[in-house]
Structure 1
């Protein structure tokens, strides 16, 4: 049975929990782009609590635009800003320096399409976690797909279901407490090689 997900920008813990438990992983690539989702947004733990990293995208004047056709707007230094935010948030974390050289190139090479960029981010995280996850992509959009676990709802940033995961050590937890279901980057920089064990121990 397939586990069906949207590819998102440095996916959150819920996305990765569903991935590590998947028998067969499939990503939706034929959907229409929607605002207020994790397609171009990730949350990390900044010095002043939860911090949103938003990739600027070019909105179409048409009513519908396919996710795979959505372009990134590169007339602002968003990549530099995102990388500086990650450095500020995680430079004191146990594993930031260990993974820094793997992740930094994503923010120093121009990116054109948000879907393509999200897959690049996923591949880098898979390598960092040493996750051998083979995946397929959809060939057409289905509103109600059969014979699959449909986790596409996880993409919704404003209407997401509250999944309570086991707390792990976070850099600023002593100031603001534990923040649940952040980007996989938070888990990676704080837990390093233990991240996969943590993900496998959680459930949706």
Structure 2
């Protein structure tokens, strides 16, 4: 049985999270970043198709819509996320047009557009990871998240899966590792215990609703939906997370 407690109840010396970069991630991704002392983007992992690495959802009058970045995958079956190349340039203007069409009535459209549009209209991106990380850094700034962001390539990647995570944690001096719930399928808690690193699980449930366009509320959208609708107040709707010790 897991003993659930608020992050605020503990006083670790250093908490770290490690995740792959995603394209314009949902609010939970940024909530996790805000809850740690250091966040590592794990783009040395293998790129996975039909995943969040190159796509995310926005809201339209007809319901949610995918924005997907075309990727060069032919003959690159085992490429890492950081090696993954974007296929073409036309997608950027298409994505921006979709954002403009569906959020131009949102209260903070212009506030966000001034910051975001240049990433789509004034820059050319060749690699997915470079784009993802640039947008994640921009959004962290807009949400006033001060957590230092680092790349997995800065570390010696030793071992496989859980062993690699433990290795990165040890190199950062982490005493606590905060994991998303999807890792429950593969993570090996005893490897963290062997190095006196406390393994904690992040709980994404219980986010409050915010003013949102187009019909019934939907939590599972890109963070851009929250930013377009709430602007500088967006951080109020990203709750302080809950953890459970493994």
Offset of residue 62 of structure 1: 4.1
Using the alignment, how far apart are the partners of 1:202 and 1:89 within structure 2? 30
Task: Tell me by how many angstroms 1:45 deviates.
Answer: 0.7
Mapping of 1:52-201 within 5 angstroms?
52-74=66-88, 77-108=90-121, 109-138=123-152, 139=155, 140=157, 142-144=160-162, 145-146=165-166, 147-151=176-180, 153=182, 163=205, 165-172=207-214, 176-201=215-240
The Cα shift of 1:80 comes to 1.1
Are 1:36 and 2:78 an aligned pair? no
How far off is 1:8 after superposition? 0.8
Q: CA RMSD in A?
A: 2.2
CA offsets 1:133-153 (integer angstroms, 9 cap, x no match): 211222327411235223384
Change in 2 beyond 3 A, CA 1:126/1:65 = same
User: Which one has a bigger Cα radius of gyration?
Assistant: 2
Question: Can you give the 5+ residue segments of structure 1 that lack an aligned partner in the other structure?
Answer: 155-160
* Cα pair 2:35 2:241 within 8 Å, conserved: no
Q: Paired residues, what number?
A: 194
| TM-score, scaled to structure 1 | 0.86
1:18 shift after superposition: 1.0
**Structure-2 change in CA distance of 1:152 and 1:37 (3 Å):** farther
TM-score normalised per structure 2: 0.72
Q: Do the aligned partners of residues 72 and 62 (structure 1) sit closer, same or farther apart at CA in structure 2, a change above 3 Å counting?
A: closer
Asked if the contact 2:34–2:146 (Cα under 8 Å) also holds between the matched residues in 1, the reply is no
CA distance in 2, matches of 1:184, 1:116: 18
Kindly indicate whether structure 1 or structure 2 has the higher relative contact order, using CA contacts under 8 Å at least 6 residues apart.
1
Relative to 1, partners in 2 of residues 1:195 and 1:203: Cα closer, same or farther, differing over 3 Å? farther
In 2, the alpha carbon distance for the partners of 1:153 and 1:11 equals 15
The CA distance in 2 between the partners of 1:152 and 1:62, in whole Å, is: 29
Alpha-carbon offset, residue 128 of structure 1? 2.1
CA 1:23–1:86: 2 relative to 1, 3 Å: same
**Aligned equivalents of 2:107, 2:238: Cα separation in 1:** 18
C-alpha distance in 1, partners of 2:206/2:144? 25
Instruction: Give the conservation status (yes or no) of the 8 Å contact 1:33–1:64.
Output: yes
